Amino acid sequence: MGYDATFRVWRGDASGGDLQTFTVEVNEGEVVLDIVHRLQATQAGDLAVRWNCKAGKCGSCSAEVNGRPRLMCLTRMSTFAEDEPVTLTPLRTFPVIRDLVTDVSYNYEKAAQIPALVPRPREADGSHRMQQVDVERSQEFRKCIECWLCQDTCHVIRDHEENKRSFAGPGFLIRLAELDMHPLDVADRRDAAQEEFGLGLCNITKCCSEVCPEGIHLTDNGIIPLKERVADRRYDPLTWLGSKIGRR
């Protein structure tokens, strides 16, 4: 059975904006993105929204639904009571372009800074052999759809614009972790993780893992193991002694 819902949608641009209230029809089985499309078709033809697949795979339709970072195409209307107003706002961590569309270039800038894979030389027979268990360890991180909900929710940059320069964000700390555990990679990214990408600023609140639509355990399986590897190196007395002798 259909019903009428109250939607409050942020409308505006970089110079400012406000919530606009709409009453809009909702039908059984619909998701928030369906309602946004209905608003565009019936009441707000110029409402700006980014989307593409409507299947939770392209990572485009990220927004904040009642204050929580979510993919609009995966958020069922049945999540909310019929008389509960649904508030849609753009991702708070990134600059607004218009309405629900934000400028997420910060993420692409950070992506470009991550040092690439440095593979060890091939075996004598020309192959690159890896153990299946080593391959599988980092496979989870490859599920990332680049929706940037983890980046949006992390308090290190959400409320602190000044941290953006020195913090890559959870989405790229797991990229570093993934490379670090790659069985073919020989580069050592531990110093860079700490000093250039702000690993130490993460205080393991795990909010990034909670909002990931792919269910990636960013903190437990990526960030914490990377922190442990950095700590091992820094506080291992033999490594410390080696670095001192090496410097002479």
How far from the centroid of its chain's Cα atoms is residue 49's Cα?
A: 18
**Site membership for ligand F3S, residue 204 (CB under 6 A):** yes
Shortest spacing between CB 215 and ligand FES, in angstroms: 14
Interaction partner, residue 73 (ligand FES, ligand F3S, none; CB < 5-8 Å by kind):
ligand FES
1/3 Cα distance (integer angstroms): 7
Ranges within 62-101 binding ligand FES (CB under 6 A): 71, 73
Pairing between strand 86-89 and 96-98? unpaired
Q: If binding is defined by CB under 6 A, does position 56 make contact with ligand FES?
A: yes
Question: Is the separation of the CB atoms in 99 and 90 below 8 Å?
Answer: yes
CB of 30 to ligand FES, least distance (A): 14
Residue among 26, 207, 212, 216 that touches ligand F3S (CB under 6 A): 207
CA–CA gap between residue 55 and residue 63 (Å, rounded): 15
Question: What part of residues 107-166 is at the interface with ligand F3S (CB under 6 A)?
Answer: 153-154, 156
Which of the ranges 35-43, 103-111, 138-146, 200-208 carries the binding residues for ligand F3S, by CB under 6 A?
200-208
DSSP letters for 10-78? EEEETTEEEEEEEEEEE-TT-BHHHHHHHHHHHT-TT-----S-SSS-S---EEEETTEEEEGGG-BGG
User: Which residues contact ligand FES (rule: CB under 6 A)?
Assistant: 51-54, 56-61, 71, 73
